[in-house]
Structure 1
Amino acid sequence: MLTRVAVSLFISLGAYAQTVFMAGDSTMAPGGGGSGTDGWGQYLGQFLTIPVVNDAIAGRSARSYTDEGRFTTLTSSVKSGDFVIIEFGHNDGLSGTTDNGRQDSFGDSLTATTTVTLANGTSAVIHTFNFYMQQAVTGLKAKGANVIVSSQTPDDIWTGTSIGAPPRFVQYAKEVAGNNTGVAYVDHYAYVAQAYDKLGESAVDPFYPIDHTHTLPAGATVVAEAFVRGLLCGGSALSAKVNAAGKAVPNGCV
């Protein structure tokens, strides 16, 4: 995984015409959730012919990534032709009486809002997951970026011999992609679930040493492979940048 500084140097030397940027939470981020875990974004670069910059940050949601100005910074960094993968959902659920700074307004409307009470006792108006994602997509497309909306990954929670049903944010991510011409969608949840179901619960459980969300590097690699399989099956322009190792990742289209 290259740093921003290294990527900038290689671009200035003419080594790379395009870069992949990643925006997401701890399941994608360097260091994952700590204690030896790591995000899948750290393992994507080995399957591509262009560099990857992992801007995922642990603990973030579509809302908090927006509120902290991280989408603004990302948008200012990309150039026309770059790729941006956006994947949120794990931290976007409702937080209860006191707002946690991450929850989104319930539902998928682009106009619905909710007034919440912050930890300091003041109030704030928040928007839906789709609203924050749409804002990001609009800004990135205006810069000429190739945007890929990816659904969140599954937790290590099983129903019988299969990973459980997806949460609502998987459908929301699909809607955001579908509402924007030229934006690709990868159902990362479905492709990881496919990989996990084939491996079986006894093989997958050891990927998760601290909870049911954060993976060790071995698990993160499986999750990265699943994304690549979804990329190849989905027709994104980034699929043309998948190398031989990426084309050989396991499983088929779902």
Structure 2
Amino acid sequence: MKPFLKALGRAASILACCVAASASAQNTPAAPAQLPAAVNTDPAQARPQLPEPANAALPSLILIGDSTVRNGRDDGQGKGAEGQWGWGNPIAAYFDANKINVVNRAIGGLSSRTYISGGHWERTLPFVKAGDVVVMQFGHNDSSAVNDNSRARGTIKGVGEESQEIDNMLTGKHETVHSYGWYLRQYIAAIRAKGATPIVCSPIPRKMWDADGKVGRGKGDYAGWAAEVARQERVGFIDLNELAARKYDELGRDAVMKLFPLVTPDERVHTNLAGAELNARLVVSGLKALRLPVLQSALAAKAADIAPAEDDRPVVDGAKIRGDVPRDAALPNVFIVGDSTVRSGGTNGAFGWGERIAPYFDTSKVNVVNHAIGGRSSRTFLTEGRWDKVLGQMKAGDVVLIQFGHNDGGRIGDPAMKGRASGKGTGPETVEDTKPDGTKEQVHTFGWYMAKYVADAKAKGASVVLLSPVPHKDAWEQGRDFATFAQWDAEVAAAGGAQFVDLTMVVSDGYRQIGAAEVASHFSDARTHTNDAGAQFNARSVIAALNGLPRNPAAPYLSPQGKAVEGQSGSSAKGKQ
């Protein structure tokens, strides 16, 4: 707990003051100009003055949501740091105002339904333009009554298409009320139509603990439904509900109490400024994980110490996965080594390119043996003994295709990395990592592991091709993805007598040809794992990359279909001997 609070204190002096319960008005962000109070007590019908993009020439990060994003007049109700604050206020400091507008147009008291029915989305949408990013966080008010004479803001539970006809007791108008998921889909469609990027954010958790002393999660309702819509629509998702609950559990009850207004100890939803600062940092970590170029390039120095959020999917137990074996021991082999982007086995509708590449080979001449396994990095594929199994099947004349990188990033020793992170570069340096059981591991660089694979396979008389990772769904339109991993692969291949293909760019070039809409239909999740269509596209790209090499070691084993694929080397790199 102490290191975390210390880090927040360095990032923002106000947080330290709040956590110590001694905040003063001089540490509180400057409040916006006071606005006249709305006469109508229904927030959906009020017309509060909302911020607009400060510089129309810049891209914008636009926030929509409820009071947990922007509370009241965004001034802490005149109570300074101990008032109620939404995370949309402190998050602005994590971005460079000279590079991007951060526009917080959330309104307290609203649901996903009333932000639309009250006309607030109609007022906000004109500010959304191509290249912008819009983050939506609703849910806290969606559980209210669908029809009453107080707020009439509830939505139908779930993400379905069901609806309910009502005569709104508050507005006096007839209205068709839809599900929570239906409204989120309306935002997503409208944002996409503008050429902007929608991101769904799950609602922050309440200050409540279960019988086991853990902070209550919302996976059974709005947090889970937000995740489901993001998955269905294949848009970026920030699980703020889980990220914040996990952090609350780590901090402990006493520290969490200080993240909510001390003057109102019964408050369970709205944080004080310290809590808003914590949630803002978690949202930034979620945005970093999505790797959107427009946001990555606009981060301020204050965001430098925030690590990208990691997903909470368990790493598949390798002991429970039966490795492939050559079908015919008399034939040569094409071995495939990698992670879940190479082999996912249909989990949550995901497939890797290694599972769809067999038709490009003549199986009467060669065995295609896929040893890829989800959740692995260049480091763990070796340390878990997976590589030894490949070597045990390998013989002279075989071909080995190796693709790692998706799980190699992050900081060594960070529990969120699940023991997978490798060192940066291609050098011999190591970092000592203390594992959960107390044992210590000398962790090598990414290039060291790749070089070992090359050397071991060459010693067996096999040919090796290193492939840079397939790109993320949202990182191919501008610039390139996995630049450092491609560079390290190329260096290792050149030094070790292997070949290198820039699969990242071969796939990216292919994506540019088919367009963003079709690319989006190739993924089973928000940005990483392909579905069957995407796996087939990437498998063909691998063959194109191999055929683009000066000397394709797999050429003798290609089927007529594989030989017909035109060779490609990617727009920024050539195959290297």
Give the TM-score normalised by the residue count of structure 2. Answer: 0.40
Quick one: which amino acid aligns to residue 130 of structure 1?
G
Does structure 2 retain, via aligned residues, the 8 Å contact 1:19–1:82?
A: yes
Quick one: which amino acid aligns to residue 37 of structure 1?
A
1:159-207 Cα deviation digits (max 9, x unpaired)? 6x457443311111111111112x1212111111111111111110111
Alpha-carbon distance in structure 2 between the residues aligned to 1:247 and 1:211: 33
Alpha-carbon distance in structure 1 between the residues aligned to 2:565 and 2:517: 21
Alpha-carbon distance in structure 2 between the residues aligned to 1:248 and 1:28: 22
Task: Determine which of 486, 500, 504 is the counterpart of 1:170.
Answer: 486
Q: Which residue of 1 aligns with 2:389?
A: 73
Task: Determine which of 141, 146, 170 is the counterpart of 2:458.
Answer: 141
Percent identity (aligned): 33
Q: Which residue of 1 aligns with 2:544?
A: 229
1:112-136 Cα deviation digits (max 9, x unpaired)? 1112343345543210011111111
TM superposition shift of 1:69: 1.0
1:41-70 Cα deviation digits (max 9, x unpaired)? 011111012221100000000000010011
Alpha-carbon distance in structure 2 between the residues aligned to 1:163 and 1:198: 16
Judged with a 3 Å threshold, the aligned counterparts in structure 2 of structure 1 residues 115 and 143 are, in CA distance, closer, same or farther, namely same
Q: Which residue of 2 aligns with 1:212?
A: 527
Task: Determine which of 354, 366, 375 is the counterpart of 1:59.
Answer: 375
Query: Greater Rg, structure 1 or structure 2?
Result: 2
Task: Determine which of 351, 354, 360 is the counterpart of 1:41.
Answer: 354
TM superposition shift of 1:21: 0.8
SS of 1:136's equivalent in the other structure is helix
Alpha-carbon distance in structure 2 between the residues aligned to 1:146 and 1:184: 8
Q: Does 1:108 align with 2:433?
A: no
More divergent stretch after superposition (88-97 vs 73-82): 88-97
More divergent stretch after superposition (189-198 vs 100-109): 100-109
Does structure 2 retain, via aligned residues, the 8 Å contact 1:98–1:117?
A: no
- Superposition pairs of residues 11-30 of structure 1, within 5 angstroms: 11=329, 14=330, 16=331, 18-30=332-344
Q: Does 1:180 align with 2:489?
A: no
1:13-66 Cα deviation digits (max 9, x unpaired)? x5x3x111111000001416x211111001111101222110000000000001
1:64-123 Cα deviation digits (max 9, x unpaired)? 0010011111111111111111110000002365252110112221x1111234334554
RMSD of Structure 2 on Structure 1 (CA): 2.1
Q: Which residue of 1 aligns with 2:34?
A: none
How many correspondences in the alignment? 242
Alpha-carbon distance in structure 2 between the residues aligned to 1:120 and 1:94: 21
Alpha-carbon distance in structure 2 between the residues aligned to 1:198 and 1:251: 16
Alpha-carbon distance in structure 2 between the residues aligned to 1:152 and 1:165: 9
Q: Which residue of 2 aligns with 1:194?
A: 509
- Superposition pairs of residues 95-134 of structure 1, within 5 angstroms: 95=411, 98-99=414-415, 100-109=418-427, 111-120=428-437, 122-134=439-451
Task: Determine which of 473, 478, 482 is the counterpart of 1:156.
Answer: 473
More divergent stretch after superposition (63-72 vs 88-97): 88-97
Judged with a 3 Å threshold, the aligned counterparts in structure 2 of structure 1 residues 116 and 57 are, in CA distance, closer, same or farther, namely same
Whose relative contact order is higher, 1 or 2, with alpha carbons under 8 Å and at least 6 apart? 1
Quick one: which amino acid aligns to residue 200 of structure 1?
G
Alpha-carbon distance in structure 2 between the residues aligned to 1:79 and 1:103: 30
Does structure 1 retain, via aligned residues, the 8 Å contact 2:358–2:368?
A: yes
SS of 2:348's equivalent in the other structure is coil
Judged with a 3 Å threshold, the aligned counterparts in structure 2 of structure 1 residues 96 and 81 are, in CA distance, closer, same or farther, namely closer
SS of 1:207's equivalent in the other structure is coil
TM superposition shift of 1:153: 0.8
Alpha-carbon distance in structure 2 between the residues aligned to 1:163 and 1:121: 42
Contiguous gaps of at least 5 residues in structure 1: none
Does structure 2 retain, via aligned residues, the 8 Å contact 1:61–1:90?
A: yes
SS of 2:374's equivalent in the other structure is coil
Alpha-carbon distance in structure 1 between the residues aligned to 2:568 and 2:491: 23
Contiguous gaps of at least 5 residues in structure 2: 1-322, 571-577
Task: Determine which of 232, 247, 254 is the counterpart of 2:563.
Answer: 247
TM superposition shift of 1:250: 5.9
TM superposition shift of 1:241: 2.1
